[in-house]
Chains A and B, each alone.
Chain A
Amino acid sequence: MSPKNNKITGYDFVKKSAGIEEYTLRKNNLRVLVLEDHSAPVATFMVTYHVGSRNEAIGYTGSTHLLEHLMFKGSRNFNKDKNTAIWTELQNVGAQINATTWNDRTNYFEVVPREHLDRAIAIEADRMRHAFLRDEDRQPEMTVVRNEFERGENSPFDVLDKNIWATAYQAHPYHHSTIGWRSDIENVSTERLKAFYDTYYWPNNATVTVIGDFKKEEALASINKQFSEHSKSSEPIPPVYTEEPEQEGPRRIIVKRTGQTGIVGIAHKTPKGLHEDTYALQVLGKILADGKTSRLNKLIIDKGLSTSIFMYDFPFLDNGLFIAYAFLTPGTDHKKIEEIILKEYNNILKNGVREEEIKRAQAQIRATVAFSRDGTYAVASALNEAIAIGDWTFYTKFMDNINKVTAEKIKEVIKKYFIEDQSTTGWFVAKEPKD
């Protein structure tokens, strides 16, 4: 591409990778990622704020998520009084619209028929700095979010997962789940939420992604027009400086509730998502539990000991967890499953993995990456997670890095991270229902 094509009024061109271009809006440092894709008459617009539940602390856990809910209650130009409520404006034209919150980010998105892209841009620009955030809206929304929390608590897996993270991370805010603790959801004040909004919802703490059937110059001009009214934040965005102290011994937790079957989760601490070891851990996860030929499938599922098994090894901005989860069949002993999983980790530590296992894992990841380009929302969604961990090119370079993983590297990461003293093991034990 010639440099001329990157000259867009109001923007600085930053870089390009896999067809995706990055620009910075000069006025306020809003980062914009853009990719034209004319496969279908559709466009996806997404705003990712670099704030998630890692930016919360005791007393206001779950605030990022509660704030995300309040962001749909109206803003200066889009509200019920003007008959321009956000849901109505977008759903009435057939758009898919939603928002999600996780450890490291909050994202708002719209998948729209191409002719309505400007409407999505206008809504997101308006609520970036002009959301109402009224107490009269927080009160009914708090009970909505509390019911979301209660629904999560209905699930034995969700409860066990929360407990494993809370046990593995004691100082770092990954200790609490994104939904937060119930009493914080119930009691956090509107003022606290507003302060949160005024700290983090600024163009210089956000990345806008626009993918789909439009002309790049027109989409960028529309973003410029709508978002340029905002200034940069007057204060620097506060960093999270809490680090998890070194774990000095294995940890165990047991959750007992009325239920039917058990679950085992074994977690080990992993490095930050952008660390070079992430790629070997991803390949290892595939070798262990993805597909019927994977090692733990043969050892556990094929023996009828579990109904399913999967690896939870998502890369985060800070250190994370590599967790093996097994859902036991009735009558299966938790201890037995735990021993099988740990024995297999030791087996890999001693004997390594086979070359063909690596090739197969790479092929599986290659197809997953290709399907993450199938549709404008798929691309935006994959980019969103890469943006969250600090470098959107993590997405575009992911496959190249996966291809570099060797058997030696896998042995190295299992030796480095799969240490008993760094582990947290959780059991969900189903109690017999009372008569």
Chain B
Amino acid sequence: MSTFSSQVIINDDVKGVKTYVMPTGAKDVVTIYGSMLSGSMHCANTNSKTAALVASMLDKGTKNKDKYEISETLESVGAELSFSSTRYHTNFTGFCLKNNLGTVISLLSEQLMAPSFSSRELSTLQSRVCGNLERDKENTKKLAMIHFLRTLFPKNHPNYQETVNESIDLVNKITKEDLFAFHREQYGLGSLKIAVAGDLNPEDFNKQMLDSIKGWNIKDSSIPKLIEKAHETKEGSETIQVQDKTSSDLYIGQSIGIDREHKDYYALMLGIYILGGNFSARLMQTVRDKQGLTYGIGSSISGVSFGADGYWSIWGTFSPDIIKKGIAATKEQIDLWFNKGVTQEELSAKKTTISGSYKVSMDSTGGLAAKILSNAEQGRELTYLDEYPKIIESISLSEVNSAIKKYVNPNKLYMVSAGTL
């Protein structure tokens, strides 16, 4: 079987943009994933919600087309284009039939390069976004997560989260001028990456895509430097009251002080995966399968990309009546895992899980394009995707157990629960 990387055609003929094209056996369909550096961490000159609102306004009209013309163009051929924003990136995704790829490329470029940012559309969008945020006030999982991250990280850290009310205030303060300024300062070639997979000809795609964005301003974009690292997590707990909720959500965890480039990352990631990475991991097998205390519980490492020091956490859902039992059972598993470590058998099983998952994730054009883009955003060569299973395979049991001891402290966990408690 040929390697993954050998099936992807990379093009960087135009300065500031790199395309990754992967023709597959899929019939008629094409999926596009792309991004450029212009997320909320790039909002130094404005409020942090500006990046998200700029991305959401990209389908609300361009200098040459109003939003209905954009939608009509896409919907008349059944295509979809959507824009969103993360901490570091503006992201876009496109789905279309192969015959309509040219239309989608041309529209994508126009929307990215020449948005109109009409005042009326901004006002309607603000009202919708705030409506959704109001709904978050009754979302027990989201509330628990927000409070958990606000405790672990300082305000200027990429993993910090605003409260729902703070977010509403920020969204309402944004003006049309803020949108234009952010777009002018942050959008352009420089960090643009586009991954596309499906039923397409790489040369045709590259010609159309690169022709359509050639000449766009070049920006000297980079990942903003981390100003301040996570607080050292202190033992503590917090309860968020939300009325009339029959289920509650729980977060437990702590900051880890390392990012995913750190030499210990893979060992710690494997250790946390063994604790709660999937259904056959310890937490689901004990707290759910054996004790019946929860519908779902798991653990993961998050917030470790682009140089940020991240955190490990356990999330679980519990009936308010038995959350105390659930917390006790979860803590028992953490202690067991920390004190006795993981076994060779568990490590070997998770290694085969990861290499098999890699194949299964190739099942759709969306899975492929997302995997390629995520790898490119991390600044990695494509060959990393071929090497990943080997990297995982090389991690030893002692490395995993040492990483758990080094980065986890069961006596300094922070815990947030939200619900009718």
Write the residues of chain A forming the contact surface with B, with a CB cutoff of 8 angstroms. Answer: 37-42, 44, 73, 85, 87-88, 91-97, 111-113, 116, 139-151, 153-154, 156, 257-261, 290-293, 301-304, 306-308, 327-330, 356, 359-360, 363-368, 370-371, 373-378, 431, 433-434
Flag if A374 contacts B291 (CB, 8 Å). no
CB<8 Å pairs between A and B, sample of 5: A147-B319, A258-B138, A373-B26, A375-B365, A378-B364
Between A44, A140, A260, A308, the greatest number of chain B beta carbons within 10 A of the residue's beta carbon is seen for A260
**A293's closest neighbor in chain B, by CB?**
B71
**Residue A94 contacts which of B130, B198, B247, B357 (CB distance < 8 angstroms)?**
B357
Binary CB contact string for chain B from 46 to 84 against chain A (1 if under 8 A, 0 otherwise):
000000000000010000000110111011111110000
CB-CB < 8 A to B178: which residues of A? none
Inter-chain CA distance A149–B295, complex, in Å, is 9
Report whether over half of chain A's contact residues are helix, strand or loop; otherwise say mixed. Answer: mixed
Flag if B137 contacts A260 (CB, 8 Å). yes
CB-CB < 8 A to B24: which residues of A? 39-40
**A146's closest neighbor in chain B, by CB?**
B319
**B355's closest neighbor in chain A, by CB?**
A94
Give chain A nearest CB distance to B343 CB in angstroms: 13
CB-CB < 8 A to A147: which residues of B? 247, 293-295, 317-319
Contact flag A375-B244 (CB < 8 Å), given A39-B24, A92-B352, A307-B128: no
Q: Is B278 an interface residue (CB 8 A)?
A: yes
Between B29, B68, B291, B360, the greatest number of chain A beta carbons within 10 A of the residue's beta carbon is seen for B360
Flag if A370 contacts B29 (CB, 8 Å). yes
CB-CB < 8 A to A360: which residues of B? 72, 75-76
Between A153, A290, A371, the greatest number of chain B beta carbons within 10 A of the residue's beta carbon is seen for A371
Give chain B nearest CB distance to A116 CB in angstroms: 7
Q: Is B363 an interface residue (CB 8 A)?
A: yes
Tell me the total A-B contact number using a CB cutoff of 8 A: 205
Flag if A148 contacts B353 (CB, 8 Å). no
Flag if B68 contacts A140 (CB, 8 Å). no
CB-CB < 8 A to A304: which residues of B? 123-124, 127-128
Give chain A nearest CB distance to B65 CB in angstroms: 12
CB-CB < 8 A to B246: which residues of A? 149-151, 153-154
Q: Is B224 an interface residue (CB 8 A)?
A: no
Contact flag A291-B290 (CB < 8 Å), given A93-B356, A151-B247, A373-B26: no
**Residue A367 contacts which of B27, B79, B245 (CB distance < 8 angstroms)?**
B79
Binary CB contact string for chain B from 341 to 365 against chain A (1 if under 8 A, 0 otherwise):
0000000011011111111101111
CB-CB < 8 A to B76: which residues of A? 356, 359-360, 363
Q: Is B140 an interface residue (CB 8 A)?
A: yes
Q: Is B227 an interface residue (CB 8 A)?
A: no
CB-CB < 8 A to B355: which residues of A? 94
CB-CB < 8 A to A367: which residues of B? 29, 77-80, 95-97
CB-CB < 8 A to A141: which residues of B? 292
Q: Is B279 an interface residue (CB 8 A)?
A: yes
Inter-chain CA distance A143–B356, complex, in Å, is 32
CB-CB < 8 A to B95: which residues of A? 367, 371
Contact flag A142-B278 (CB < 8 Å), given A257-B244, A368-B78, A374-B29: no
**Residue B356 contacts which of A95, A139, A258, A327 (CB distance < 8 angstroms)?**
A95
CB-CB < 8 A to B75: which residues of A? 290-293, 360, 363-364
CB-CB < 8 A to B6: which residues of A? none
Q: Is B261 an interface residue (CB 8 A)?
A: no
CB-CB < 8 A to B247: which residues of A? 147, 150-151, 153-154
**Residue B1 contacts which of A37, A41, A368 (CB distance < 8 angstroms)?**
A41
Flag if B358 contacts A259 (CB, 8 Å). no
Inter-chain CA distance A93–B322, complex, in Å, is 34
CB-CB < 8 A to B68: which residues of A? 292-293
CB-CB < 8 A to A38: which residues of B? 25
Q: Is B134 an interface residue (CB 8 A)?
A: yes
Contact flag A154-B78 (CB < 8 Å), given A40-B24, A88-B280, A327-B131: no
**Residue B295 contacts which of A144, A261, A301 (CB distance < 8 angstroms)?**
A144
